[in-house]
Amino acid sequence: MAAGPASPAAGLPEGPFGCPICLDALRDPVTVPCGHNFCLGCIGAHRHHPAPGGGARCPLCQEPFPADLQLRKNHTLAELLQLRQPAAMAPGEARDDRRAQEREEREDEEELVRCDFCTGGARAPAAQSCLVCLASFCAPHLQPHLQSPAFQGHRLVPPLRRIEESLCKLHLKPLEGFCRTDRSCVCQLCRAQEHRSHEVVAVEVEREHVEAQRPKILNSVENQMDELGVTISQTRRTVDLIKGTAQKEKEKVSKQFAETARVLAAFQKEVLGFIEDGERAMLSDTEEELRQKEERRARLIEYRQNLETVPSTDTISFLQEFQALKIAVEEKNFPSTSFPKELSFIKSSQAVSAVREQLVNICKNQWDQLSGKGDEGPVFYGMPELQLLGALAAFISEKSSSPACLESRDYFLKFAFIIDLDSDTADKFLQLFGTKGAKRVLNPIAYPESSTRFINCEQVLGENVMNRGNYYWEVEIIDGWVSIGVITEDFNPRESYDRGRLGRNEKSCCLQWNGQNYVAWFGGFDCVIQQPFFHTIGVYLEYSEKSLTFYGVKDSKTTCLQQFKVARFKKGHFDPFQNKINHQFPSLFTHNLKPAFFLESVDAHMQLGPLKKDCVSVLKRR
């Protein structure tokens, strides 16, 4: 390879100057036919490892290119790289490079093995090390080992910094052999004792054997590095995508929680204001009555005291005071305000408690759904609960549009589902043309008996079963009234006409063209759709998302006609059709589903669209 993988800190060079395989700056850049740039060595090694489908493919977009393609250096891009390198080198970076080079030289100097017998300030570099003396010698000090017979039994090896690592830790003898049985280095005593029955060879012999395998191992390493480079690049993009999506979702959730807090704060303010208004209204009358009664009582006390203080000899004063007290007693009393049995605001706490309990239940149920602990589909509450939770109406937003509604026809062709009509399900008044066409006829056709055949409705099913993933198919309406939809595999084909038709029961749904407009049907509920007529209808089923969408198809464009999917209501608007979907539509996806077709009028005629050619065309364009 031209370059090894970059360190994680280095990252992938930006723009066209980074190789997606080695994750380093481009070296000898080449451009493959799809337009992506790679190092000459990287892409050269990569194309010798064909994909499972055969042939060489671009590591980024997987577009195939000839394995024998002659790779030529992109001189224009190479010149740009040369111009970019000095421009990108700032003065500080140049100083850092010089310091790094000096540091490497010092490290090389430190790694140099010195003679253990040299004295003085500077020691000469060692020429060899002795495993018996456990010391290193320069050329002059090595002469006794080379000339004296006393050192003939000593083992000399290239200079070693840590000679003790070349000794057996058990016997402190030189490691002279390699045990192929235990894949470890051994000394002579180990070879004679623990490893005497093993295959042991000299370390030099094993070195030659390993050197012979080295190119193959290194080639395997290079291949794995190439593959890891590509997967690392792809995984980094995935990580960035996950982080970006999570950040957007956190911002969206934080905004929704802030809106919830504002709604609850407004609700609290309204309830407290309601209590205060009730308190003021009731206190106004009650306090006035209290004041009048207190004044009357004070007058009675005053007249009684005056009567009691009159001397017994003062007959005139006695009569006058007695008359005044009698008049006060006989005064007409003010009507007494009856205290209400129940204050007008006494149930405020109960209402708030009910809101709290409903909110807790909603949060718990939605959390269970989010964490995968709940039943199928999200929980939606009926009208009484929505009225009770009027303060939270800001959350009940308009039905969200599916992202799939915004895609072009080419997007759906990735999920193309080739359908064949099942002749064993066709009603006797339906004539099939091969496995793709069906037409309503007046004279019954003598089909053989079948337990799966419709007998009361002019309907036919596809042979294919849908129980996971995404599916897309197209139907051409040639003439008459035609309904297109899906039905559960266990549906009873002998149901009555009223219950057996598509969309008139809880086990099927459909989009009907009645000659004037489209009508969506599910569970006996319908919804009229104001859209122009399309000869071709596209059907997109997302099984895991519990969603079914119908499109009008013209050329390469799609128009969303109707989507069957659980959704919330708009504020103050209750839709019986959507309410039916919210409560029962998800149950369809607990069964295997089949494509279904209902030819209602006597002139009805339909044809399944051929998608194979279009799918191949899309793949070629990609």
Cβ atoms of 585 and 376 within 8 Å: the answer is no
Residue 527 is predicted with a pLDDT of 92
Residue 286 is predicted with a pLDDT of 81
Residue 546 is predicted with a pLDDT of 93
**Contacts of 543 by beta carbon, 8 Å cutoff, 6+ apart:** 466, 467, 468, 469, 470, 471, 589, 593
What percentage of residues in the chain have a pLDDT greater than 90? 27
Assign 502 a pLDDT band (cuts: 50, 70, 90). very high
For 162-172, what is each residue's pLDDT tens digit? Answer: 776 777 877 77
For 124-154, what is each residue's pLDDT tens digit? Answer: 888 888 877 878 888 888 888 888 888 887 8
Assign 104 a pLDDT band (cuts: 50, 70, 90). low
Q: How many C-beta neighbours within 10 Å does residue 565 have?
A: 21
**What CA–CA distance (Å, rounded) separates 250 from 246?**
6
Q: Answer whether CATH 3.30.40.10 is correct for domain 1-90.
A: yes
Residue 150 is predicted with a pLDDT of 84
Q: Answer whether CATH 3.90.650.10 is correct for domain 128-206.
A: no
With 0-12 / 13-18 / 19 or more C-beta atoms within 10 angstroms meaning exposed / middle / buried, residue 173 is: middle
With 0-12 / 13-18 / 19 or more C-beta atoms within 10 angstroms meaning exposed / middle / buried, residue 464 is: middle
* Sequence spans of domains, the chain: 1-90, 128-206, 207-346, 403-621
Residue 566 in this model has a pLDDT that exceeds 70: yes
Give yes or no on whether 1-90 and 128-206 have one common fold. Answer: no
Residue 200 is predicted with a pLDDT of 87
What percentage of residues in the chain have a pLDDT greater than 70? 81
For 65-79, what is each residue's pLDDT tens digit? Answer: 877 777 888 888 888
**What CA–CA distance (Å, rounded) separates 151 from 344?**
114
Q: Domain 403-621, what architecture?
A: Sandwich (2.60)
99 vs 273, higher pLDDT:
273
**Least-confidence region, from 318-322, 390-394, 450-454:** 390-394
Assign 401 a pLDDT band (cuts: 50, 70, 90). very low
Distances (CA, A) of 186 to 131, 153, 168, 328, 493: 14, 18, 7, 128, 80
Helix (H, G, I), strand (E, B) or coil at 11: coil
Assign 542 a pLDDT band (cuts: 50, 70, 90). very high
